[in-house]
């Protein structure tokens, strides 16, 4: 089956998700990651990892060809991890940044994280910043770099679709993704530069390590990069999504986009060299507005309703969604996102309805499991 898929040029897909651990009854983050690890079932233990802070935890399921299989695996992971968190006296919450007041969490007791804390200081405040990373297979690093060039204009609208962190310290920040604004303080965070070759990619990586801005390739926090571990392009600019449905839609679109752009690379079509300041503006707009406002049409360089750009992306990648068997599921999930709005929009609606950030966190804890 895998050999047949490879012969057809189908791409594998993997997802990493970072979560916040919050108190069992209150809305603030809690340092219970080791207690949660103690409660993990054997069926998910190998897919769960530490993150930077003691109030965070991460999952990384095995790569899949079938989107339905990936959805089932990620849903099982979320449910199993949520159960372990509850046994440890916490709740698992899929949110980009801690919405409630609380003390700053300490880093996980590991040499790498202590070293990061010593060099970079308090760049991850509160309970931690939680993202979603999508891995899509590519045939080789040189091709991967060319795909990264083609990806640059599309990533702001994917970021807008993941917006899921409007609140911080109990108040509305005015941004759909406050995590994005906090995350940009790290020295290597930002749009991927336009690169001529894999050799230039490696040279720039080495230069950044030599500068002290990062320790190693794992700290290359561009919005898309070549994975330091897997033969994949890693798209990593988004908030963790509130529901498995949202996560699977973004994963399907990411694979459809990479597959579409691979064809452009194979056909020798040059990537548009979008000016870096314009990309920065589009990513800022994505963080500020989510999908409920405007973003920048990179073809015309004019603001347009973000949902129209999202629809444009969906239509652009639909042939590859269909070729990978994802079109039916992605169409349903796209309709749900259009109906319900981003995680940020849903959090704001929940606050307006129930009147407290605590109620928002209750809702997030339920939706993390996939409860609608």
Does residue 36 register a pLDDT over 80?
yes
Does residue 116 register a pLDDT over 60?
yes
Does residue 318 register a pLDDT over 70?
yes
What confidence score (pLDDT) does residue 55 get? Answer: 97
Local confidence band at 242 (pLDDT 50, 70, 90 cut-offs):
very high
Write down the mean pLDDT value for the chain.
95
| 6 against 298, higher pLDDT | 298
What confidence score (pLDDT) does residue 58 get? Answer: 98
What confidence score (pLDDT) does residue 104 get? Answer: 87
Q: What pLDDT digit, counting tens, does each position of 269-293 carry?
A: 999 999 999 999 999 999 999 999 9
What confidence score (pLDDT) does residue 371 get? Answer: 73
Q: Which pairing describes strands 171-172 and 167-168: parallel, antiparallel, or unpaired?
A: antiparallel
Give the residue-averaged pLDDT of 211-234: 96
Local confidence band at 4 (pLDDT 50, 70, 90 cut-offs):
low
CATH at residue 118: 3.30.590.20
Full-model pTM? 0.96
Q: What pLDDT digit, counting tens, does each position of 123-182 carry?
A: 877 889 999 999 999 999 999 999 999 999 999 999 999 999 999 999 999 999 999 999
Q: What pLDDT digit, counting tens, does each position of 55-91 carry?
A: 999 999 899 999 999 999 999 999 999 999 999 999 9
What confidence score (pLDDT) does residue 13 get? Answer: 98
Give the residue-averaged pLDDT of 14-38: 97
What confidence score (pLDDT) does residue 292 get? Answer: 97
What confidence score (pLDDT) does residue 2 get? Answer: 45
Q: Which domain holds residue 260?
A: 2-368
Q: How many domains does the chain have?
A: 1
What confidence score (pLDDT) does residue 372 get? Answer: 61
Q: What pLDDT digit, counting tens, does each position of 354-365 carry?
A: 999 999 999 999
């Amino acid at each position: 089956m895998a050999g047949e898929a490879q012969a057809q040029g189908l791409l594998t897909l993997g997802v990493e998700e970072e979560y916040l651990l919050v108190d069992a009854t209150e809305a603030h983050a809690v340092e219970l990651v080791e207690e949660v690890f103690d409660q993990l079932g054997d069926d998910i233990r190998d897919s769960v990892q530490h993150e930077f802070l003691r109030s965070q935890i991460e999952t990384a399921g095995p790569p899949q060809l079938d989107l339905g299989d990936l959805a089932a695996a990620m849903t099982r992971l979320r449910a199993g991890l949520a159960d372990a968190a509850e046994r440890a006296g916490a709740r698992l919450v899929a949110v980009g940044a801690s919405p409630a007041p609380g003390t700053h969490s300490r880093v996980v007791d590991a040499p790498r994280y202590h070293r990061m804390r010593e060099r970079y200081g308090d760049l991850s405040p509160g309970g931690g910043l939680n993202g979603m990373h999508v891995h899509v297979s590519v045939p080789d690093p040189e091709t991967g770099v060319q795909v990264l060039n083609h990806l640059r204009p599309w990533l702001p609208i994917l970021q807008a679709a993941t917006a899921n962190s409007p609140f911080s310290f109990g108040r509305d920040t005015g941004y759909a993704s406050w995590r994005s604004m906090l995350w940009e303080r790290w020295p290597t965070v930002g749009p991927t530069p336009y690169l001529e070759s894999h050799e230039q990619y490696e040279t720039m990586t080495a230069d950044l390590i030599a500068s002290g801005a990062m320790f190693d390739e794992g700290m290359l926090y561009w919005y898309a990069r070549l994975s330091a571990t897997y033969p994949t392009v890693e798209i990593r600019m988004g908030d963790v999504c509130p529901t498995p449905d949202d996560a699977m839609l973004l994963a399907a679109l990411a694979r459809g986009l990479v597959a579409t752009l691979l064809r452009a690379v194979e056909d020798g079509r040059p990537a548009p060299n979008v000016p870096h300041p314009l990309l920065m503006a589009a990513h800022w707009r994505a963080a500020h507005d989510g999908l409920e406002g405007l973003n920048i049409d990179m073809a015309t360089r004019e603001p347009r309703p973000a949902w129209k750009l999202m629809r444009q992306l969906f239509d652009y990648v639909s042939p590859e969604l269909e070729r990978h068997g994802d079109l039916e599921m992605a169409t349903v999930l796209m309709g749900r996102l259009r109906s319900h709005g981003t995680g940020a929009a849903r959090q704001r609606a929940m606050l307006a309805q129930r009147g407290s950030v605590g109620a928002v966190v209750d809702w997030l804890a339920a939706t993390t499991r996939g409860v609608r």
